[in-house]
């Protein structure tokens, strides 16, 4: 088995696939890339059993075969080469020899048959959308998902597809983000929970990409096809909490602010907040917003006043500044609207401008109890 491939093209594809491989695998074979050669196509796969990603590149070859090559070693050597053709040739003693312009390098390989096969999806449903829309939906929601192993359903992003549009939701019980696209729809209603790892891979690969992504899914797995690549992952099993029930419907108190001014003010004041609660206090009265924080243990305190547009009763409400900053940082708008009903009910943050046609973002942040 022998083939010739561009060093930089191979490195680029392997660096993307390398994101699938865990640092501590239960099966030693998963520390490898699977190479499957068929005429002038080289199919490369990486897997951690939950997620499998495959991509194909053009090579010069006239035979077929498969083998598993150590991922870390191969990536390390490829990073050192300038752009040049590399020749890969299988030798007698179970090694594969790489020939470059400057030398030869031999590494041991494993049999390709040992590598786990990717799952085939039975009777999947299908939806297509552009890569950039999917990447945006992921980046706008994934930061709000939880890390609690005891509640695995909340550690992913909930995909809700219907004929009227696509909805993506993430929550960790303290904050919640709902991202809706009305300009894209599915042929039928479907719901599934995607784990974080494959979502982060997709977000990094598809950002700014206008090519179509085909999503196929059934009860247990989802498959994403784009360009020359396929990503298959196991879905999180379980029922997603009824997120609509926690979004307050009646919110008479409305605060409108310039996002960047509010963000910078919260960031400054939060430096003086308690390191355990990160609590800041918002006090609205007339056209003035007072933002304050205090760390009683160290006698640190700060308060700032901002001019704002406010409709509603005078009120005070406490928030975790870390969550508020994360949300404000994930919006692109100039102005934001914060809607509230009572100091013990969630606040709803929405962008006033900067949205594309058919795009909706609702962010919900739970209050923290203020100690007087």
**Sheet (strand 221-226) strand order:** 110-111, 64-70, 32-38, 41-47, 51-58, 229-234, 221-226, 212-217, 125-130
pLDDT at residue number 370: 80
Q: Are 201 and 179 in contact (CB under 8 A)?
A: no
* Dist CA 101 CA 370 (whole Å): 68
Q: Radius of gyration of the chain from Cα atoms?
A: 25
In this predicted model, what pLDDT tens digit does every residue of 28-82 receive, in sequence order?
999 999 999 998 999 999 999 999 999 999 999 988 999 999 999 999 999 999 9
pLDDT at residue number 99: 97
The pTM for the full model equals: 0.93
In this predicted model, what pLDDT tens digit does every residue of 316-334 receive, in sequence order?
999 999 999 999 999 999 9
CATH of domain 125-244: 3.10.150.10
What's the pLDDT band for 92 if we cut at 50, 70, 90? confident
pLDDT at residue number 185: 92
What's the pLDDT band for 304 if we cut at 50, 70, 90? very high
Q: Are 65 and 38 in contact (CB under 8 A)?
A: no
Report the SS3 class of residue 17. helix
pLDDT at residue number 372: 61
Residue that is written with structure tokens 């939880």 in the block: 146
Q: Say whether pLDDT at 102 is over 70.
A: yes
Cα angle for residues 17, 221, 52 (degrees, 5° grid)? 15
Of 144, 260, 118, the residue nearest 196 (C-alpha): 144
What's the pLDDT band for 229 if we cut at 50, 70, 90? very high
Residue 295: phi and psi, rounded to 5, are -115, 95
pLDDT at residue number 254: 97
| Contacts for 345 with CB less than 8 Å, ≥ 6 apart | 248, 367
pLDDT at residue number 275: 93
In this predicted model, what pLDDT tens digit does every residue of 174-224 receive, in sequence order?
999 999 999 999 999 999 999 999 999 999 999 989 999 999 999 999 999
- Percent of the chain's residues with pLDDT above 90: 93
The CATH class that applies to domain 247-368 reads: alpha beta
Q: Say whether pLDDT at 337 is over 90.
A: yes
**Sheet (strand 85-90) strand order:** 2-6, 85-90, 95-99, 104-108
Read off the pLDDT of each residue in 146-161 and give the average, rounded to a whole number.
94
Read off the pLDDT of each residue in 345-371 and give the average, rounded to a whole number.
93
Name the superfamily (CATH) of residues 2-114: DNA Polymerase III, subunit A, domain 2 (3.10.150.10)
DSSP string, 49-64: SSEEEEEEEE-B-S-E
The alpha carbon of residue 121 and the mean position of all alpha carbons in its chain are separated, in whole angstroms, by: 23
Strands (E), 119-274: 125-130, 157-162, 165-171, 175-181, 190-194, 212-217, 221-226, 229-234, 253-258
Residues of the chain with CATH 3.10.150.10: 2-114, 125-244, 247-368
Read off the pLDDT of each residue in 80-102 and give the average, rounded to a whole number.
95
- Percent of the chain's residues with pLDDT above 70: 99
**Sheet (strand 165-171) strand order:** 190-194, 157-162, 165-171, 175-181, 359-365, 347-351, 335-340, 253-258, 309-311
Residue 350: how many other CB atoms lie within 10 Å: 16
Q: Say whether pLDDT at 149 is over 90.
A: no
Residues in the chain: 372
């Amino acid at each position: 088995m022998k083939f010739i491939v561009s060093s930089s093209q191979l490195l680029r594809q392997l660096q993307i696939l390398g994101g699938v491989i865990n640092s501590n695998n239960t099966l030693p074979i998963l520390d490898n890339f699977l190479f499957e050669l068929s005429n002038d196509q080289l199919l490369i796969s990486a897997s951690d059993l939950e997620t499998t990603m495959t991509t194909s590149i053009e090579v010069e070859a006239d035979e077929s075969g498969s083998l598993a090559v150590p991922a870390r070693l191969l990536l390390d050597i490829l990073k050192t080469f300038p752009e040049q053709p590399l020749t890969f040739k299988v030798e007698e003693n179970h090694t594969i020899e790489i020939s470059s312009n400057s030398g030869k390098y031999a590494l041991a390989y494993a049999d390709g048959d040992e590598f786990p096969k990717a799952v085939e999806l039975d009777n999947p449903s299908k939806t297509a959308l552009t890569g950039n829309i999917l990447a945006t939906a992921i980046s706008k929601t994934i930061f709000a998902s939880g890390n609690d192993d005891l509640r695995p359903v909340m550690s992913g992003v909930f995909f809700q597809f219907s004929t009227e549009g696509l909805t993506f939701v993430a929550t960790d019980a303290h904050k919640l983000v709902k991202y809706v696209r009305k300009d894209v729809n599915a042929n039928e209603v479907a719901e599934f929970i995607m784990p974080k790892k494959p979502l982060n891979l997709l977000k990094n690969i598809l950002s700014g990409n206008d090519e179509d992504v085909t999503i196929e899914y059934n009860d247990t797995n989802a498959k994403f096809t784009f360009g020359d690549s396929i990503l298959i992952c196991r879905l999180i099993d379980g029922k997603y909490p009824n997120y609509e029930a926690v979004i307050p419907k009646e919110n008479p108190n409305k605060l409108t602010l310039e996002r960047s001014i509010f963000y910078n003010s919260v960031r400054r004041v939060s430096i003086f907040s308690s390191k355990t609660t990160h609590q800041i206090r918002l006090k609205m009265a007339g056209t003035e917003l007072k933002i304050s924080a205090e760390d009683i243990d160290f006698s640190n305190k700060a308060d700032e006043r901002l001019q704002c547009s406010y409709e509603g009763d005078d009120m005070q409400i406490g928030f975790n500044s870390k969550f508020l900053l994360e949300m404000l940082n994930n919006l692109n708008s100039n102005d934001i609207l914060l809607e509230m009903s009572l100091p013990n009910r969630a606040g709803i943050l929405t962008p006033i401008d900067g949205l594309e046609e058919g795009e909706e973002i609702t962010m919900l942040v739970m209050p923290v109890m203020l100690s007087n």
